[in-house]
Structure 1
Amino acid sequence: MAEAASLLNKTYFSGGTVAASIADIDFVQKRKGIEQTLEDGTISFLSISSLRYGFKIIDILTISAIARHTASLATYVRNKMLELKHSNEKNVCIIYGQDFKANYLKMGPSITFNLKREDGTWFGYREVEKLASLSGIHLRTGCFCNPGACAKYVGLSHSDLVSNFEAGHVCWDDNDVINGKPTGAVRISFGYMSTYEDAEEFLKFLQSSFVSKPAELNNGYMVNMNTLSLVDDWCQQAISDIRLKSITIYPVKSCQGFSVQSWPLTTGGLKYDREWLLQGSGGEVLTQKKVPELSSICTLIDLKLGKLFLESPKCKDKLQISLLKNLTHLSAEVDVYGQRYEVQSYGENVNSWFSEAIGRPCTFMRCSSSKYRSCVTNGNRDHLCRDTRSKLSFVNEGQLLLVSEESTSDLNSRLSLSNGNGKQQVFADAMRFRPNIVVSGSTPYNEDNWKRLHIGDAYFTSMGGCNRCQMINLYQSSGQVIKSKEPLATLASYRRKHGKILFGVLLNYEDDMEGEDDAIVERWLKVGQEVYPST
């Protein structure tokens, strides 16, 4: 089927079918999947049933009244945004398509903009989108399927667009600032149901989240709250008696993990960690953010038996999979988050079990090799790929994730303060963040400063902080997956740095074994081992 589809000479494209395009020259890169290339937009079937009621409301309110209402709200917000200043009097908001001579009705109900920091650098639109979601504000980000206007207003040349694509940037990813330039923008729109209170809420959100605050007097010293390190001064104490508190392995990406007292290390980090994943029928990687049912699949590996055991409340039987790599199974190369992997697939019985467990068709895959993964790191684009040398399984960035018990306790103390006024109590234990290793005996956020760790006879390099997303807001209650705003909203209030909300640190194992044979295991991590960090 794929070979036949490649013969089709499609002479046009529209939203959702391309990875990158340039409006005024013949440059277009189509998406790789067959269905992605052919699906020009998505028909909103669910909205068809609402058409009659929508037209009825328009008849009652009239188009002219709706236009006056929405344009007046947009004009009010637009003017207030232009008044926002940082403490150094620099503008916060850059509004595109602004025409002060135009009639306010002609300017329409939408505002497209980007935000700048006090030092003149850009806030990425993904950061704005993430924080807006936590505040209950819905907006759009990116290029809005309008590559010509996007490139014109954000100042992207042809060479910028091509080099961004070659560096791995595609229109739906999270690379919102590359080489100091935004790759898209933010857009808010008002409708007939929008109110003045909505407008004020949005302006309050901008003020609290992106406008720098004046320097404050702290213990006799002037301190700029926006330039403080994420690690408090009192955290710079001497480190002593730090120990490995727990070890958790997550064999299948986004499924439940299991805790162990000891576990072997290989060239890819903890053995078998995130070595399997599920791929949807459209070729997409399935995660809890898209498929919450993944969180109910239990996993366990028995090293002596050499088997992976899986259990789901939706499946009558447990599934057993041999850990031995069966070379008779089909092998292929797949793209996962912009990296190339050689994978091994399984038979229909395995895929059927997982499809029943999550309620949708899927394919179960195992990482055979990541030696084909590549990443462009020329110039200043190293932020597009955290690591290009170490062997990775299906992890997002680093091989292991470390979380500190003390940092988790500090977060919970802040959550308890923010849970007043009758709000439901929120508690986040360390496992909420899906760490591989949890340490105790340090001070809150001291791990931010660690450059290298020595645990037992193994050494690890810190890859920096872990950027958190909405996934940490998902938790299970009575068999149901519940989504809240916490703890990400509280973390965003004090753990934002360079457009990221950080909690925990990513580690790579410093493997000095020669050769590439993963079967050779020389070192183990054990609960209770002392941890020696260096800064």
Structure 2
Amino acid sequence: MASEATESGAELLAFTRFRDSSAARLAYGYGPRSLLDMRESEFGRLAGTVYLDHAGATLFPQSQLTSFTNDLMNNIYGNPHSQNTISKLTHDTVEHVRYRILAHFHTTPEEYSVIFTAGSTAALKLVAEAFPWVSQSPDSSGSQFCYLTDSHTSVVGIRNVVMAMNATSTAVSPEDMWSAKEQGAVACDPNCQLLHLFCYPAQSNYSGTRYPLSWIGEVKSGRMSPVSVPGKWFVLLDAASYVTTSPLDLSAHQADFVPISFYKIFGFPTGLGALLVNNRVAPLLRKNYFGGGTAAAYLAGEDFYIPRQSVTERFEDGTISFLDIIALKHGFDALERLTGGMENIRQHTFTLAQYTYTALSSLHYPNGAPVVRIYRDSDFSSPDVQGPVINFNVLDDNGNVIGYSQVDKMASLYNIHLRTGCFCNTGACQRHLGISNEKFKKHLQAGHVCGDDVDLIDGQPTGSVRVSFGYMSTLEDAQAFLRFIIATRLRSPSDQLLAGPRVAGVPSAEGKAQDMPAVTDRHVLSQNDVGTGSGVCLDAHPGSNAICLHPPQSEATRSQQLSLEKAAGALHGDHGPRVVTNLYLYPIKSCAAFEVTKWPVGNHGLLYDRSWMVVNHNGICLSQKQEPRLCLIQPFIDLQQRIMVIKAQGMEPIEVPLEEDSEQAQICQSKVCADRVNTYDCGEKVASWLSKFFGRPCHLIKQSSSFQRNAKKKLGKDLPPGTAATLSLVNEAQYLLINTSSILELQQQLCTSDENGKEELFPMKDLISRFRANIITNGTRAFEEEKWGEISIGPLRFQVLGPCHRCQMICIDQKTGQRNQDVFQKLSESRERKVNFGVYLMHESLDLSSPCFLSVGSQVLPVSKENVELHNSPALKKHRDVSS
């Protein structure tokens, strides 16, 4: 019965059935030309990708860029402030684009002026600084700035300018505005000279709700008022989200100020917006600063300045971005050629949103509980009330919210790109999620800030998930998203595993799928192995043997390895004393592991752990999230010869010195986890090797030995006292520890059953490799490590900083580079929707006057968090001080 219910709840709504049952007028696509043909010819780069963040930024068609590039190649465009013929061409082309913009919004230069800005935020800031605010005084209540709580951050920020002018700001909810409409007209003193400004979004960037454009005329005429004050109201219509997929008729709805952003309409160019100003209110705008081109005349030595007459010339300080403005012409041309106009886009995108909303709403667990909670103010009945945006949170079968960060990570494994958080709209987020001001402040105290991945606090969501459609979105995009929700929520992991592989082999540099052999077993070296030239490694200190990964070994060697593991209690359920069972370092960030049994410890952790990283042609660090084939690069360190040997299938091994030549090193800068790091380039030889392997330009860089990088606070908290917080190119901490008991529990959860019993689809060693830890220990209980406050391993002591929040990289098979999402999903389900696995360690300050090592077989002595806190309590410290 349960399986039948699951199948019923997991049924994907057929588009034809939806279309036949809908009472609304539905329009999908753009006439006789196939939408799929358009996707192939204009958006071929989207092949295999589902892009659902068009409210964040839509995508440009190939023909727009081609046309624009041809324009630039065939014409010369100079500074429009000059008087030569080339500059005159630029000026005239820019003016033509202004007319094209006004025509797009169904108005004329006689009604509106176009002021180009750096984006819609800059346009809003311009209104804030230029509006004729009247300050409060004993004789006047001053101007009012009212804004809808469902407004973008860039709108809410106007209130700081208003406060500086000693005027008043008031936030009004959507419910307040509906009440104001019902109350009707407000008595107005015709002699009152106060000027007020009301701002609201034509479309909520949070939920896609479309607020009535009729509010413009009703507020301006006094038929409804955001607040009951005497004076004249002006309307600032935030149209940035609305005009991406809908026509805006300014001849019918004459807002005073309309900010827009062009990359949200065309995808290109970015960083260019405009403020459309109603010419009737333009004379009221005030301006203090003047830049190049805005002055008709001025004196350098005297306070004398005459502005230019037109509002456009007065407010476009400096040289406008004229080449980007010229690109807009090609954007309009492409949009109209491909779609036939904004009304067609409005119908097409709404049809996709309505279908997705209907299908999403119908998904239920076998117990009848909904799979998602959708945040909406409309019933998705018409594009007049709803844009192509769906905002929701995913629930489990008990109705608990699954954090948006986990949904985002899972979606990326299906190559689905959406957006999560509060979308720069705190007011809407609070309203829909029920977050009070007090709770919001507590979230901040807990370390949550806008844009991070802290998605749940005390079990309550701090944000949500948003999908949005653009004019090139297809039914296949919508259905791929819905299948993702069904696959991750309404199919058990065993169903998914039995369904067979979902990810093809990772392509080689030549574009062919390839498989890599398993990572070889570790090899125990004796002094007789020294200097064989076979890529083995030796400890840096005399008299000690080093253990490293090695080519395929004999049966005797394998037997020796198994004996070592059994003695350490590694994978055989022996719950004796806790010991280190495996040690790994990762010389090149995101590349394959290098396994050892004894290794020196330095200030940053294991010697040479994450000392190098691969960067792209722009110097940006590559990780397995962008380039899974990094795991196929196998580094081997030879401490005796002071070299690192890098190997990969189909490539000749290459050597890299362990230390830089200080005289020849080319210092460069890069970033790791938003931290700036000083590095040096390892040279063209290894760069060519990597570029050949990956099929694109790459370089190998190493952190400079003279550069110190400090660990960050975790969730706003200071690191434990005495912690040596210097890092290599790791993300957060010097060491990562995992417990084999925790791995064993996960492995059991991932096993599926067939007619022969349980099938081990995830071997223990393969699972361990996915978590890319430095220290593997056995343990008496799964996840006991998360209760540790500190540990000792031999003579070394470590602070436990907290759990490691896992990303999509744990879904990558480290032997082949192939993805499989089951590991991430199972952890998300079993660990209360937080994908934590392993703990971060930092060692206390080391005395490096004598060699320090970590070794397999060393005993691990943990101390619980409670005992650490008790030991560090002020009362106990005071007692110890008195006793001493």
C-alpha separation between the residues in 1 aligned to 2:689 and 2:461? 46
RMSD (Å) for aligned C-alpha atoms: 5.1
Corresponding position of 2:818: 482
C-alpha separation between the residues in 2 aligned to 1:511 and 1:187? 48
Residue 423 of structure 2 corresponds to residue 141 of structure 1: no
SS at match of 1:475: coil
C-alpha separation between the residues in 1 aligned to 2:382 and 2:403? 31
Give the direction of change, closer, same or farther, for the CA distance of 1:328–1:177 in structure 2 (3 Å limit): farther
Pick from 624, 632, 645 the counterpart of residue 288 of structure 1.
Answer: 624
Corresponding position of 1:107: 386
Give the direction of change, closer, same or farther, for the CA distance of 1:473–1:143 in structure 2 (3 Å limit): closer
- Within 5 Å, give how 1:193-212 maps onto structure 2: 193=476, 202=485
Displacement after TM superposition at 1:390 (Å): 0.8
Residue 743 of structure 2 corresponds to residue 408 of structure 1: yes
C-alpha separation between the residues in 2 aligned to 1:283 and 1:196? 37
C-alpha separation between the residues in 1 aligned to 2:808 and 2:475? 30
Displacement after TM superposition at 1:71 (Å): 5.7
- Within 5 Å, give how 1:86-485 maps onto structure 2: 93=373, 95-96=375-376, 98-99=377-378, 103=382, 106-108=385-387, 110-114=389-393, 124-132=403-411, 138=416, 140-142=418-420, 147=424, 150-155=425-430, 174=453, 182=462, 185-187=465-467, 192-193=475-476, 202=485, 240-323=576-659, 326=662, 328-367=664-703, 368=705, 371=708, 373=710, 375=712, 381-382=716-717, 390-417=725-752, 425-429=761-765, 430-475=768-813, 480-485=816-821
The share of aligned pairs that are identical, in percent, is 25
Q: Given that residues 115 and 122 in structure 1 are in contact (C-alpha distance below 8 angstroms), is that contact kept between their aligned partners in structure 2?
A: yes
Structure having the larger proportion of residues in helix: 2
Displacement after TM superposition at 1:95 (Å): 0.4
SS at match of 1:309: strand
Give the direction of change, closer, same or farther, for the CA distance of 1:339–1:78 in structure 2 (3 Å limit): same
C-alpha separation between the residues in 1 aligned to 2:844 and 2:789? 12
Give the direction of change, closer, same or farther, for the CA distance of 1:361–1:425 in structure 2 (3 Å limit): same
Q: Given that residues 131 and 492 in structure 1 are in contact (C-alpha distance below 8 angstroms), is that contact kept between their aligned partners in structure 2?
A: no
Please list every run of 5 or more consecutive structure 2 residues that lacks an aligned counterpart in the other structure.
1-115, 122-151, 161-267, 272-333, 493-573, 865-884
C-alpha separation between the residues in 1 aligned to 2:634 and 2:593? 7
Pick from 331, 351, 355 the counterpart of residue 73 of structure 1.
Answer: 355
Pick from 853, 871, 876 the counterpart of residue 524 of structure 1.
Answer: 853
SS at match of 1:395: coil
Displacement after TM superposition at 1:440 (Å): 2.1
Displacement after TM superposition at 1:435 (Å): 1.6
C-alpha separation between the residues in 2 aligned to 1:451 and 1:531? 13
Q: Given that residues 168 and 375 in structure 1 are in contact (C-alpha distance below 8 angstroms), is that contact kept between their aligned partners in structure 2?
A: no
Displacement after TM superposition at 1:524 (Å): 0.7
Give the direction of change, closer, same or farther, for the CA distance of 1:431–1:317 in structure 2 (3 Å limit): closer
Q: Given that residues 280 and 286 in structure 1 are in contact (C-alpha distance below 8 angstroms), is that contact kept between their aligned partners in structure 2?
A: yes
C-alpha separation between the residues in 1 aligned to 2:153 and 2:852? 51
Please list every run of 5 or more consecutive structure 1 residues that lacks an aligned counterpart in the other structure.
1-9, 16-20, 28-37, 42-50, 210-237, 514-518
Corresponding position of 2:306: none
Q: Given that residues 378 and 385 in structure 2 are in contact (C-alpha distance below 8 angstroms), is that contact kept between their aligned partners in structure 1?
A: no
More relative contact order, 1 or 2 (CA 8 Å, 6+ apart): 1
Give the direction of change, closer, same or farther, for the CA distance of 1:417–1:265 in structure 2 (3 Å limit): same
C-alpha separation between the residues in 2 aligned to 1:432 and 1:482? 11
- Within 5 Å, give how 1:495-514 maps onto structure 2: 495-496=831-832, 500-513=834-847
Displacement after TM superposition at 1:124 (Å): 4.0
Q: Given that residues 373 and 394 in structure 2 are in contact (C-alpha distance below 8 angstroms), is that contact kept between their aligned partners in structure 1?
A: yes
Q: Which amino acid counterpart does residue 529 of structure 1 have in structure 2? A: S
C-alpha separation between the residues in 2 aligned to 1:168 and 1:198? 28
Q: Given that residues 579 and 859 in structure 2 are in contact (C-alpha distance below 8 angstroms), is that contact kept between their aligned partners in structure 1?
A: yes
C-alpha separation between the residues in 2 aligned to 1:243 and 1:137? 40
Displacement after TM superposition at 1:276 (Å): 0.9
Q: Which amino acid counterpart does residue 532 of structure 1 have in structure 2? A: L
Q: Given that residues 125 and 185 in structure 1 are in contact (C-alpha distance below 8 angstroms), is that contact kept between their aligned partners in structure 2?
A: yes
Aligned residue-pair number: 445
Give the direction of change, closer, same or farther, for the CA distance of 1:365–1:14 in structure 2 (3 Å limit): farther
C-alpha separation between the residues in 2 aligned to 1:64 and 1:325? 61
Q: Given that residues 589 and 729 in structure 2 are in contact (C-alpha distance below 8 angstroms), is that contact kept between their aligned partners in structure 1?
A: yes
Q: Given that residues 791 and 860 in structure 2 are in contact (C-alpha distance below 8 angstroms), is that contact kept between their aligned partners in structure 1?
A: yes
Q: Given that residues 141 and 187 in structure 1 are in contact (C-alpha distance below 8 angstroms), is that contact kept between their aligned partners in structure 2?
A: yes
C-alpha separation between the residues in 2 aligned to 1:286 and 1:242? 36
Q: Please identify the structure whose Cα radius of gyration is greater.
A: 2
SS at match of 1:483: coil
Q: TM-score, normalised by structure 1?
A: 0.66
Q: Which amino acid counterpart does residue 789 of structure 2 have in structure 1? A: K
SS at match of 2:800: strand
SS at match of 1:40: coil
Q: Given that residues 588 and 610 in structure 2 are in contact (C-alpha distance below 8 angstroms), is that contact kept between their aligned partners in structure 1?
A: yes
Displacement after TM superposition at 1:107 (Å): 2.8
Structure having the larger proportion of residues in strand: 1
Q: Given that residues 723 and 842 in structure 2 are in contact (C-alpha distance below 8 angstroms), is that contact kept between their aligned partners in structure 1?
A: no
Q: Given that residues 339 and 375 in structure 1 are in contact (C-alpha distance below 8 angstroms), is that contact kept between their aligned partners in structure 2?
A: no
